Amino acid sequence: MKLKQTFALGLAFSAVSVFALPMINPVQAQETRFFCGTQNGIPATVAQRSGRTHPIIQFKSEYFSSNGWTPERRCQEVSERFQRFYAQGTLKYITTGKINGMHVLCIAAAKGGDCIENGLLLTLRQGNNPNKALRQLLNLQTYGSGVNPVNESAELSKERIYISVDELLRNAPGK
């Protein structure tokens, strides 16, 4: 009798375990991974999906180097942020914002929304506006026109832009 109870309990636990598995987002099922690599010798945040690599942001500026944030270090940190937000399921839209008085690229949960709490992707140097960088990214991904990946030292602009990360990855040209 005790053997039957143990078997039944084990079977019930197995059934609960199967139903308790997390649902897999179809975008995540494609095993996207973000890392710091290079493009033409320049540190770059790169997305790898379905065996293809897609450079997203190039780190050319030495502006933050005097504070220890070399292009290589910024690339590592930003790439880790992309990967962390992606793994958390919060990497929905890239938009612009201001944190501590600095222009930034950040994560928004929805188009038209503000940056999520702790959603900083990248701080830009003073006097630069991330909207132009986002436009460059949008042009690269939408038109595949050979435009370089985002140059994180872009010029000023006024309108706020939102880029769907899912569309960016789905339409990205790559190798």
Residue 17 located in a structural domain: no
For residue 25, being part of any structural domain is answered with no
- Render 99-154 in DSSP notation, one character per residue: ETTEEEEEEESSTTPPEEEEEEEEEPPTT--HHHHHHHHHHHHHH---PPSEETTP
With respect to residue 75, please indicate whether it lies within any of the assigned structural domains: yes
The predicted model gives 87-111 an average pLDDT of 90
Greater pLDDT, 175 or 51: 51
pLDDT of res. 154: 40
Task: Give residue 102's identity as a one-letter amino acid code.
Answer: M
- Asked, for residue 11, whether it belongs to a domain, the answer is no
- What's the pLDDT tens digit per position in 41-58? 999 999 998 888 888 888
Reported as type and span, the H/E element at residue 11 is: helix 2-19
Instruction: Say whether pLDDT at 86 is over 50.
Output: yes
* 13 within some domain: no
pTM: predicted TM-score of the whole model, two decimal places = 0.70
Domain count of the chain? 1
Domain region containing 50? 31-171
Residue 18 inside a domain? The answer is no
Question: Residue 63: inside a domain, yes or no?
Answer: yes
Q: Look at residue 19 and tell me if it is in a domain.
A: no
pLDDT tens column, 139-156: 444 434 333 444 444 444
Contacts of 90 (CB under 8 A, 6+ apart): 107, 109, 116, 119
